[in-house]
């Protein structure tokens, strides 16, 4: 290492920019000192911290860029450097007691922040520290918040500024305190802070919210129509009643006489969370995995190996050129927050996940981003598009414009774009998201108008029995079996051709979005003889018709329902078995099943006798298999 350290006090050039020599020197300082500590934290030598605070290496570098080194710190004594008699310096092993103490101290609020920003700071030297660009304004705000996790309220105080504010919000929520009561508590606590030394008093409630909003974890509360007709958003934000049904937006509180929204949804902006994926150099590097990983022919270990991904790359090479652009998946399903026996209330979360990450990470809970929380009490059905409007608008911006994002791995700002690759849901949610009705004759989205569904005269419903054989290979023996499937029927034709996005886009051209006035009434007439019941809001995405696959079915969810029905039928569970007299009468007309047909006395065999062997087999399977 060079002895000439005059660069340490030549931080700025005449025009106010950082000196290149200073940048290189700081990087060399970080690179040299970070290897001496196994926990990744070093003493900060800026003019403010003065080697008294131990921070992560990137925060130290940010402090040095902004404030410069402390005076006369030519010998880096706080970082293990010792002067020699000839003027040279060498490094001793640092005092491990401080490191161990630092590792032993666990701050849950700092951990909370690190989880929020996907913070995976490196614990050892990871190579090049050269800086190409300054962090963007959003990145600087995030680093300021990280600084708050290590700044005590005053010298000697065990609580940091972030932990104090978080505790205050926690007390307010648990005790259901008003804003005025929260402010009074903050004022009372601040009286115990010493006045002769620098301190950071707990701010009032509004300032706490404003400071914590820098985390980028804020949500937008959007008023809704109580019937789910519309949301008071964008151009409709000033309306006082629903433009569809005329319902009131507010009710007046009897105590405060203030208006209270009758219904409200929560929207969690997606862009800040995608930007935080690039705030850590480790996660930022993993976001390129889909591009650099080895692909094995004939094996799909990740969505990037699928035809749909490759097809989109070929159509949009400008998007595929930068591997940092984000591919997203969307899923939704309803659940009852109060349990099966509690209050009947159906809540629908909309979850978005990035697919750039490796298979072991992209489906981890911390990378499943809750984007929208649709209020109940009933499921939104076709009206789910009403609640998806903010997300679709943000996705359009991320596709058409993008957002400037700081990449901690390459140390540069880039224009991050994102696109929605597909949705994943069960069959009922498939109808809500796609607009294709999964009820009635045209319920199968693959067969569509070429369906071979038929009506069961006794059970009074449609059936798609024996519609699967046309999808088998041409020489499959099941195609020519006219005994065990439909009586006297063999299959000599193939399946219908897949319908591409342009074909589907033309089909929904006659329909209207449910977010427009008159859309629901118009679609009831226009969609009477087709499977589409609405023009899904996903068609507003410019690239939606270019996708090879737009909506995926949750196979595990569907298989669970199928297995349950099969076991209920085989075991003869009352009220849940699918084997009943009307079903057997329909079966006689379609199939040849002597074991369950009526005897000479016009009576059906007992269900227990019909499935006796299968029931024993099923019980043995459940008994011998460990779950």
pLDDT score for 136: 61
Q: Which of 102-106, 136-140, 380-384 has the highest mean pLDDT?
A: 380-384
pLDDT at 196 exceeding the cut of 50: yes
As a residue count, the chain comes to 627
d(CA 338, CA 336): 5
The H or E element that residue 562 is part of is helix 555-571
Beta carbons of 361 and 286 less than 8 angstroms apart: yes
Mean pLDDT in residue range 154-168: 79
d(CA 78, CA 59): 17
250-252/348-354 β-pairing: unpaired
Comparing CA positions, the residue from 434, 443, 499 lying closest to residue 467 is: 443
In the chain, how long is the greatest CA-to-CA distance? 115
Mean pLDDT in residue range 3-7: 77
Q: Which residue has the higher pLDDT, 129 or 299?
A: 299
pLDDT score for 418: 96
All structural domains of the chain with their residue ranges: 219-264, 268-445+498-553, 447-497, 557-589+601-624
Mean pLDDT in residue range 94-121: 44
In the chain, pLDDT over 70 holds for what percent of residues? 80
Beta carbons of 64 and 8 less than 8 angstroms apart: no
- pLDDT tens-digit map of 356-366: 999 888 888 88
Measured torsion, CA atoms of residues 606, 612, 613, 614, in degrees rounded to the nearest 10: 90
Using N-to-C axis directions, what is the helix angle for 20-34 and 57-67, rounded to 10°?
150
pLDDT at 277 exceeding the cut of 80: yes
Q: Write the DSSP string, 96-112.
A: HHHHHHHHH---HHHHH
592 band by pLDDT with thresholds 50, 70 and 90: confident
d(CA 159, CA 153): 6
- pLDDT tens-digit map of 17-39: 788 888 888 888 888 887 766 55
Q: Which residue has the higher pLDDT, 202 or 113?
A: 202
Burial of 60 (0-12, 13-18, 19+ CB in 10 A): buried
pLDDT at 96 exceeding the cut of 70: no
385 band by pLDDT with thresholds 50, 70 and 90: very high
Beta carbons within 10 angstroms of residue 85's beta carbon: 5
Mean pLDDT in residue range 307-322: 94
pLDDT at 232 exceeding the cut of 90: yes
In the chain, pLDDT over 90 holds for what percent of residues? 27
Mean pLDDT in residue range 370-386: 86
Comparing CA positions, the residue from 573, 243, 279, 535 lying closest to residue 382 is: 535
Q: Which token pair is 274?
A: 């995608």
Mean pLDDT in residue range 419-432: 92
pLDDT score for 85: 37
Mean pLDDT in residue range 434-462: 88
Choose the weakest-confidence range: 9-13, 193-197, 483-487: 193-197
Using N-to-C axis directions, what is the helix angle for 161-175 and 108-116, rounded to 10°?
90
pLDDT at 48 exceeding the cut of 70: yes
pLDDT score for 125: 34
Question: Alpha carbon 621 to chain centroid distance?
Answer: 37
d(CA 119, CA 216): 14
pLDDT at 131 exceeding the cut of 50: no
Comparing CA positions, the residue from 44, 63, 60 lying closest to residue 52 is: 44
pLDDT at 123 exceeding the cut of 50: no
Query: Helix or strand or coil: residue 87?
Result: coil
Q: Which of 129-138, 193-202, 525-534 has the highest mean pLDDT?
A: 525-534
130 band by pLDDT with thresholds 50, 70 and 90: very low
pLDDT at 4 exceeding the cut of 90: no
195 band by pLDDT with thresholds 50, 70 and 90: low
Mean pLDDT score across all residues of the chain: 80
Mean pLDDT in residue range 303-318: 94
Residue 335 β-bridge partners: 347
Choose the weakest-confidence range: 96-105, 441-450, 567-576: 96-105
The H or E element that residue 371 is part of is strand 369-374
pLDDT at 237 exceeding the cut of 70: yes
pLDDT score for 248: 93
Q: Which residue has the higher pLDDT, 297 or 37?
A: 297
Mean pLDDT in residue range 138-157: 68
pLDDT at 406 exceeding the cut of 70: yes
Mean pLDDT in residue range 403-418: 90
pLDDT score for 327: 96
pLDDT at 102 exceeding the cut of 70: no
User: 37: phi > 0 → left, psi -120 to 50 → alpha, else beta; which?
Assistant: beta
């Amino acid at each position: 290492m060079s002895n000439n350290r005059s660069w340490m006090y030549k931080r700025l050039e005449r025009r106010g920019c950082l000196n290149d020599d200073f940048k290189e020197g700081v990087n060399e300082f970080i690179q040299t000192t970070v290897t001496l500590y196994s926990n990744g934290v070093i003493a900060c030598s800026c003019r403010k911290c003065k080697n008294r605070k131990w921070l992560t290496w990137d925060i130290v570098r940010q402090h040095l860029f902004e404030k410069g080194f402390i005076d006369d710190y030519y010998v880096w004594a706080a970082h293990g450097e010792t002067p020699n008699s000839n003027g040279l310096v060498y490094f001793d092993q640092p005092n491990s007691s401080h490191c161990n103490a630092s590792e032993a101290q666990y701050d849950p609020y700092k951990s909370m922040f690190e989880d929020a920003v996907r913070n995976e700071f490196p614990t050892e030297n990871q190579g090049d520290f050269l800086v190409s660009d300054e962090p963007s304004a959003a990145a600087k705000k995030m680093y300021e918040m990280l600084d708050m996790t290590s700044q005590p309220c005053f010298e000697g105080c065990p609580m940091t500024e972030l932990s104090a504010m978080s505790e205050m919000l926690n007390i307010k929520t648990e005790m259901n305190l008003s804003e005025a009561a929260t402010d009074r508590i903050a004022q009372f606590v601040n009286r115990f802070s010493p006045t002769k030394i620098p301190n950071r008093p707990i701010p009032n409630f509004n300032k706490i919210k404003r400071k914590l909003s820098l985390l980028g974890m804020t949500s937008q509360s959007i008023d809704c129509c109580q019937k789910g007709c519309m949301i008071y958003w964008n151009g409709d934000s000033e309306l006082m009643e629903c433009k569809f049904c005329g319902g009131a937006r507010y009710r007046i509180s009897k105590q405060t006489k203030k208006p209270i929204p009758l219904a409200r949804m929560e929207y969690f902006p997606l862009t800040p969370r995608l930007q935080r994926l690039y705030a850590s150099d480790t996660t930022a590097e993993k976001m390129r995995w889909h591009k650099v990983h080895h692909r094995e022919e004939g094996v799909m270990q990740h969505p990037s190996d699928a035809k749909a991904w490759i097809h989109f790359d070929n159509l949009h090479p400008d998007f595929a050129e930068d591997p940092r652009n984000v591919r997203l998946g969307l899923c939704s399903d309803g659940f009852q927050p109060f349990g099966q026996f509690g209050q009947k209330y159906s809540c629908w979360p909309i979850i978005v996940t990035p697919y750039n990450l490796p298979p072991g990470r992209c489906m981890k809970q911390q990378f499943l981003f809750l984007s929208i929380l649709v209020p109940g009490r009933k499921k939104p059905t076709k009206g789910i598009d009403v609640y998806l409007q903010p997300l679709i608008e943000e996705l359009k911006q991320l596709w058409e414009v993008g957002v400037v994002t700081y990449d901690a791995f390459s140390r540069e700002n880039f224009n991050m774009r994102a696109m929605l690759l597909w949705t994943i849901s069960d069959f009922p949610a498939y109808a809500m998201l796609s607009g294709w009705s999964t009820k009635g004759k045209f319920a199968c989205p693959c067969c569509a108008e070429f369906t071979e569904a038929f009506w069961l005269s006794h059970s009074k419903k449609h059936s798609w029995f024996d519609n699967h054989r046309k999808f088998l290979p041409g020489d499959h023996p099941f195609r020519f079996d006219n005994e065990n499937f439909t009586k006297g029927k063999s299959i000599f034709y193939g399946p219908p051709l897949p319908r591409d996005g342009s074909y589907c886009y033309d089909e929904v051209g006659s329909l209207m979005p449910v977010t427009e006035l008159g859309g629901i009434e118009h679609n009831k007439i226009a969609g009477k003889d087709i499977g589409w019941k609405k023009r899904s809001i996903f068609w507003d995405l410019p690239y939606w018709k270019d996708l090879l696959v737009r909506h995926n079915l949750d196979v595990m969810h569907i298989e669970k329902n199928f297995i349950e029905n099969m076991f209920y039928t085989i075991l003869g569970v009352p009220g849940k078995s699918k084997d009943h007299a009307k079903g057997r009468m329909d079966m006689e007309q379609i199939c040849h099943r002597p074991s369950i047909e009526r005897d000479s006395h016009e009576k059906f065999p007992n269900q227990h006798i019909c499935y006796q062997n299968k029931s024993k087999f099923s019980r043995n399977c459940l008994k011998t298999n460990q779950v």
